[in-house]
Structure 1
Amino acid sequence: MRIEYDSDPTYSLEERPKASVVRFNEVTPATRHSSDVGCNFKHLVWRYEFHGSQWFDGLELLKVDPGTYTDFLSHREDVEGPLERVLRVFSGRAVIRTEHWDEPLERFDHVAVPTGAAYQLGNTGVEPLWVGSWYSTGGNGASPETMLEPADRTGARAEYERIMAVRDERGLSTPPGDDGDDVDSPNVDRPDPTVEAFADAQPKTRYEAPEVGCNADWLAWMTNFDVLEWISDSSVMKLEPGGYTSLHTHFDNEGPHEELYWVMAGEARLVTEYRDERLCRFDSAFFPTGNPHAIGNVGTDTLWVGAWGARGGIEGEFDVSDLEISDRPGQTQEYERVMAARKHRGLSLPPNVEVDDA
């Protein structure tokens, strides 16, 4: 593939923003302790921070040992402000418990948690449970209460007792002494989380597209969040060794759309306009609106990557799940510019790409 580029590829009316990476082995975990809001043992939480994001306010990776449970959370708007969260099981087996029902979770299952919905996670398997979680406040700014331990948030114990009373009314299990007998009228108008089982989702094939750098067919399991306001979509990407996705940019015509990648299994190479990065299990990368990026499998095993998109409730001109990347407006031209910019900066080009520049 020959690209002829006769202008300066490193100059544009708006310079493209850069991606940022957080490596799992560089994050120090915090310990969540057993508490009186449902957490029965200690568990670890890794907090990832990406500065400069409009919609990704907080990311957490949880490790929960067999037989243990997290705190019951409900992120009430009167305490934490508007806050919605998504969860995905990276590995292990779990149960999600709400005030109305319990549901098992398997690897790659996804949970959407609207503002105010109550939930608790427990490890029902024999291996550690790893869960990726992030939340958005829709540009409203996170409340200081959100940074507190769950048991220390205003009204946390009273809310837990209310939830236990609802569960007791419905015949669901409650810990000894936590049946909420003293709670009057425990039912309130709160939403429930929604669960999408990975086994029930149908993958979409993303086809080889040399014009935007995709060198082989690969699969994506895609989800749109109708129950959430700011978090727009998520996907699981499966790439075999040597496979690369299309290099693409989320322009303002998509929302504006920010994106987050989290490596759930395997070894990856992140390709951007300015640099390349090797990513390992649990490493994460953030792409602001306007950042060109692609990812490839540089390991010997299947690469599984979780991706999340957010656009703050702003509608785009098209649905990103409907179009192949090569068919999205401006992507082919952007790929040619990025290849020319990479050559200008001394970065490698794909074997099938030659750039004739000015």
Structure 2
Amino acid sequence: MVIKKWWFWAVIIVVILSGGFGAYKYNRVSAYNKLMSNAEKNMGLGNYTKAINLYKQSLSYKNDDAIVKDIKVAQNLKKIQDTYNEGIKIMNSKKYLEVIDKFKKMSKLNKKLYLSAQDKIKQCIKKYDDVNMQLASDAYKNKKYDDANNYLQNILKVDTNNSDAKKMESEIAQAKQQQTQQQQTQQNKPNLAVNTPSNDKTSKSQPNNNDDFKKQWIEDQVQWAKQHPQGNQNNQSNNQSVPQIQNTNPSDSDNTGTQSDYEKQNMLIALKQEEQEAQQELDNAQNQMVKVYENGKFVWAQDQSKIDSARNRLNQIQSQINALK
């Protein structure tokens, strides 16, 4: 009887221990499965930091190489996500070139973020182009051609096929060529005719300033007329508009009046010529249309700054003419 009781209690103990071990094992497997399920769920939601922590906890239940690989994948995806978020932050600061550079380095491991980054690159290029195109248009309008070209080069560095930038670049090249030709024409423009011979000792060197040159030219004319009365009389007989200058003492009151009239007459002739040129310049400015960049596109418009400049010049000349009359 004693032996039977001993076996009975032995079996009971074994059953209890087996049940406890089974429950313990069941609980560990259940916890492991729950951790893995939550980790995969967070991976799908893009919560990579939380997923990494859950994977690491699961290793305490099961040391599996597959879990180690999952952790590395989650860590790489976390880096990609951080890079993307940083790029968005920089984009909001309008540092478009920096954003473009960062998004171009995005890995394709996260396809969703990679495709979004490519779209952001296009947006940044468009915004960067618009900013520089507006600056180039303003510089072009103000005839700051070198500055305009610099802005266009900024565009073409990131958008080599930008047709608007290439078109404006061509227009600037033409405008610079025309500007150079006008400067050369102005430099080669013949001086006002001076009756004084080249070896006349009374003639002075030509001043650089146009107004000073007119005054100097008139003084040379008067001096030459006083020294060559006969030649001046001959000129008067051929051209009634030129008053006769007598070779008398400059202190004489009549001669002073004649000199004054002579100076006014020649000054009026020069100013009338300038008035015609200024009027022609104003007409050309009013008829000329230039391309300006407004609201993200090119439109034809008058160059108001050029018109105002030409009108101001004409008004100044006319004011001088009225003052001499």
Q: Identify whether the pair has TM-score above 0.5, normalized to the shorter chain.
A: no
Larger RCO (CA within 8 A; separation ≥ 6): 1
Larger fraction in helix: 2
Q: For this structure pair, what is the TM-score category when the shorter chain's length is used for normalisation? A: under 0.3
Larger Rg computed on CA atoms: 2
